Structure 1
Amino acid sequence: MSKLEILEAILSPVVEGLNYECWGVEYISQGKHSVLRVYIDKPDGITLDDCTLVSRQLSAVLDVEDPITTEYTLEVSSPGVDRPLLKLAHFEQFAGHNVQLRLKMPFEGKRKYSGIIKGIEGEDVVLVVGEHELLLPIESIDKANIVPQFD
């Protein structure tokens, strides 16, 4: 299991036990400036009190489990309107929405794409960019965020 998979396995049940959805976990390893970011969600939105409650519970579990041996900052946050898409299910849920994404390696000479999520096929995200449809393996996507639409 990767570090991220271990963290998700430890943290998701805690978040869900508090009646929130664990939207996702990000771990950015940067020495003393490492960040463990946990996104939580619920149907009527997230407040600062929600983040504080979850943060306290996660801190206690992380102190006991100690999956990160170096210094880090724990951040608990709402995914927001420009929510990150971290799992294949997120891309399926947000089919029809605009997205900006960055690939780990260039595809057709580019790493950054903007388009509309058509859906998923197996382990691939189907992205419509202009007149073209791209099939992008989920493991090739480094970062993806919904582009908010305001009417």
Structure 2
Amino acid sequence: MTNVTEIVESLALPIVERENMELVDVEFVKEGTDWFLRVYIDKEGGVDLEDCVRINEQLSEALNEDDPIEQAYYLDVSSPGAERPLKKPEDYEKAIGKHIYVKTYAPVKDAKEFEGTLLAYDGVTLEIEVRVKTRKLKIEIPVDKIAMARHAVTF
């Protein structure tokens, strides 16, 4: 199967940009017996229900015209939420100074999960400050070892 997310991304990007929004992520996942096509959008100040409906309608039309997905699926257009994923270099750059959560494919400093403040990003490595008991440690995480990264909400 051709990469559905790439095809949908190429269809969604001009629609989202025309509406002065940002395409954050596209997921095509199977949950139980159902397939879900999730498109996450954002804009300055956040998106509302009307924004999601407007993008959903336009994207639905484009998907019906091109029909790139063989199986039945549910289309869901929404905000990425407070724990927005970090996927693109720009996402990491915007997150500098913010609290994030990172999970790696392989251990880094004997751990695979980190939560702390993103101090720096150079395209190859993240530098994150984590708290271990009463101490603060700076840890460098190679980007190619990151399985997933997202903003983390603190209370």
The TM-score bracket by the shorter chain reads: 0.7 to 0.9
Structure 2 residue identity aligned to 1:7: V
Instruction: Quote the residue 1:97 is aligned against.
Output: 98
The 5-angstrom pairing of residues 1-151 of structure 1 reads 2-30=3-31, 32-129=33-130, 130-137=136-143, 139-149=144-154
Stretch moving more, 15-24 or 46-55? 15-24
Superposed displacement of residue 148, structure 1:
2.5
Decide whether the 8 Å contact of 2:99 with 2:152 is kept in 1: yes
TM-score (norm 1): 0.82
TM-score (norm 2): 0.80
| Cα distance in structure 2, aligned partners of 1:107 and 1:2 | 30
Total equivalences in the alignment: 149
Decide whether the 8 Å contact of 1:32 with 1:70 is kept in 2: no
| Cα distance in structure 2, aligned partners of 1:48 and 1:34 | 22
Structure 1 residue identity aligned to 2:140: L
125 and 6 in structure 1: CA distance in 2 versus 1, 3 angstrom threshold: farther
> How well do the aligned residues superpose, as a CA RMSD in angstroms?
2.3
110 and 89 in structure 1: CA distance in 2 versus 1, 3 angstrom threshold: same
Unaligned runs of 5+ in 1: none
Unaligned runs of 5+ in 2: 131-135
Superposed displacement of residue 46, structure 1:
1.2
Structure 2 residue identity aligned to 1:131: L
| Cα distance in structure 2, aligned partners of 1:105 and 1:3 | 27
Structure with higher Rg: it is 2
Structure 1 residue identity aligned to 2:114: Y
